[in-house]
């Protein structure tokens, strides 16, 4: 074993990490079961927004509308409280590429603007208790298709907005807000025009067995984002996308009691926390994760404009390959503002990076250092470690080799 080079404020104190290691969703979460069907619909490839919405509005609580066969094209749908939508195996729910259908009052969906979030989501779950989306079918966001009446795709709109330093107004595929005990189970999402799944102010959120498959070249196509939420489990998912595979933040309220278990990430940006942590992110366990072709790997990021306390985070049984920055704990840019980012009680246990890369551990200042404990961490020989404004406890070995199978295997 080689002793970690700990420049600037390095100590080897023992912190109270036993309690940290139990941080997770406080619910007892098992694989969800699909609710009984209230009605079944058959698709013919035509726009059927009103038909699906009418069926959802007529369905009783605890039951689901099943898209049972064929293909469906739809604009924005809202799932009533306690009701679910089932997309059966072999069925595709295609998001209409008519931006006008997604317009809010400002009517800027499908445009580049200084304003953002100008589109309704394809599926909105708001003020809902016990509802969700289930099934082994597919949701196609058509991000690669031209917006109706325009000579530009949703993804090209994103690229143009970035070049102009403005915001694209593209629809999220599934938005979950102000809700309790929501479930997303088994289906596949692909080609999201914007984020695939976003949640905010949710207590009890289970995402289980979801596949997300969107090209690596796409911008702002986060896989699963959650903010201001608690008691969240994301398990057994396979996520390939163009931005954060998972991003945990706290823009609007504290985020805590999060379990990210037995997932696989292909291409994408990271298993991310931040950059918005102003209300605090705490009690997060990421376990049994493989990351392949991830730009930043395990990534905690923040700044002085949207920063806050990130505390009691455990990464365990992780394998990372083909990542230039497999572990990145970084105040990655200094913006104006006085919200001081702090990373404390961060634990890395049984983590392997099997290709050469750079590990970054950087706090904002000597008075607010990052606090990290490493145990059984293995890097590839020749990897770099950059540590500043940090208190790091533990050692690592430059002996990682092989490939990433199950993350728990050494």
Closest of 99, 232, 123 to residue 187, by C-alpha:
123
pTM of the model: 0.92
Q: Which residue bears the tokens 């008075």?
A: 367
Cβ contacts of 204 within 8 Å, gap of 6 or more? 27, 180, 181, 182, 231, 232
Go through the chain and tell me how many residues it has.
Answer: 410
Q: Using CA atoms, how far apart are residues 120 and 107, in angstroms rounded to an integer?
A: 10
109 in Cβ contact with 154 (< 8 Å):
no
Q: Using CA atoms, how far apart are residues 166 and 178, in angstroms rounded to an integer?
A: 28
Q: Using CA atoms, how far apart are residues 43 and 38, in angstroms rounded to an integer?
A: 17
Q: Using CA atoms, how far apart are residues 29 and 259, in angstroms rounded to an integer?
A: 10
Q: Would you place residue 281 in the very low, low, confident or very high pLDDT band (cuts 50, 70, 90)?
A: very high
Q: What is the pLDDT of residues 206-215, one digit of tens each?
A: 999 999 999 9
Residue 229: pLDDT over 50: yes
Q: Using CA atoms, how far apart are residues 101 and 119, in angstroms rounded to an integer?
A: 9
Averaged over 29-46, what is the pLDDT? Answer: 97
Q: What is the pLDDT of residues 246-268, one digit of tens each?
A: 999 999 999 999 999 999 999 99
By mean pLDDT, which of 38-52, 243-257, 301-315, 331-345 is the weakest? 331-345
Q: What is the pLDDT of residues 296-313, one digit of tens each?
A: 999 999 988 899 999 999
Q: What is the per-residue DSSP string for 270-338? A: EEEE-S--TT-EEEEEEEEEEEESEEEEEEEEE-TTT--EEEEEEEEEEEEES-SSSEEEEE----SS-
Cβ contacts of 118 within 8 Å, gap of 6 or more? 103, 104, 106, 107, 108, 109, 111, 169
Q: What is the per-residue DSSP string for 116-127? A: ---B--SEEEES
Cβ contacts of 381 within 8 Å, gap of 6 or more? 356, 398, 399
State the virtual CA torsion across 31, 37, 40, 46 in degrees, nearest 10.
-50
183 in Cβ contact with 233 (< 8 Å):
no
Q: What is the CATH number of domain 20-397?
A: 2.160.20.10
Percent of the chain at pLDDT > 90 equals: 86
Neighbours of 99 (CB within 10 A): 25
């Amino acid at each position: 074993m080689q002793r970690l080079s700990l420049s600037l404020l390095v100590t080897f104190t023992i912190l109270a990490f036993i309690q940290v290691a139990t941080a997770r969703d406080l619910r007892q979460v098992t694989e969800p079961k699909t609710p009984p069907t209230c009605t079944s619909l058959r698709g013919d490839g035509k726009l059927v927004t009103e038909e699906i919405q009418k069926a959802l509005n007529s369905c009783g609580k605890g039951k689901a509308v099943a898209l049972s066969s064929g293909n469906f094209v739809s604009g924005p749908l809202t799932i009533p409280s306690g009701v679910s939508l089932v997309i059966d195996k072999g069925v595709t729910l295609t998001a209409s590429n008519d931006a006008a259908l997604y317009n809010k009052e400002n009517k800027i969906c499908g445009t580049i603007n200084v304003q953002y979030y100008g589109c309704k989501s394809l599926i909105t779950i708001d003020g809902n208790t016990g509802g969700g989306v289930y099934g082994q079918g597919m949701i196609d966001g058509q991000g690669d298709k031209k917006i109706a009446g325009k000579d530009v795709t949703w993804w090209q709109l994103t690229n143009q907005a970035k070049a102009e330093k403005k915001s694209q107004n593209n629809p999220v595929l599934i938005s979950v807000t102000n809700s309790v005990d929501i479930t997303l189970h088994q289906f596949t999402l692909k080609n999201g025009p914007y984020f695939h799944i976003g949640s905010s102010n949710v207590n009890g959120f289970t995402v289980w067995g979801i596949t997300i498959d969107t090209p690596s070249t796409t911008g702002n196509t986060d896989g699963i984002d959650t903010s201001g939420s608690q008691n969240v489990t994301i398990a057994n998912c396979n996520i390939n996308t163009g931005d954060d595979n998972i991003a945990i933040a706290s823009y609007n309220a504290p985020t805590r009691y999060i379990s990210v278990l037995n997932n696989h990430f292909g291409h994408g940006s990271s298993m991310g926390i931040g950059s918005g942590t102003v209300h605090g992110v705490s009690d997060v366990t990421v376990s049994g994760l493989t990351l392949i072709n991830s730009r930043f790997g395990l990534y905690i990021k923040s700044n002085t404009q949207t920063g806050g306390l990130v505390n009691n985070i455990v990464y365990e049984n992780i394998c990372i390959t083909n990542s230039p920055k497999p572990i990145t704990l970084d105040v990655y840019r200094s913006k104006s503002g006085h919200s001081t980012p702090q990373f404390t009680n961060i634990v890395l246990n049984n983590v392997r990076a099997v290709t050469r890369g750079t590990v970054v551990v950087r706090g904002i200042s000597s008075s607010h250092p990052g606090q990290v404990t490493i145990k059984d961490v293995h890097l590839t020989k020749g990897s770099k470690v950059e540590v500043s404004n940090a208190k790091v406890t533990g050692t690592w070995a430059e002996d990682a080799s092989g490939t990433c199978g199950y993350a728990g295997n050494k």
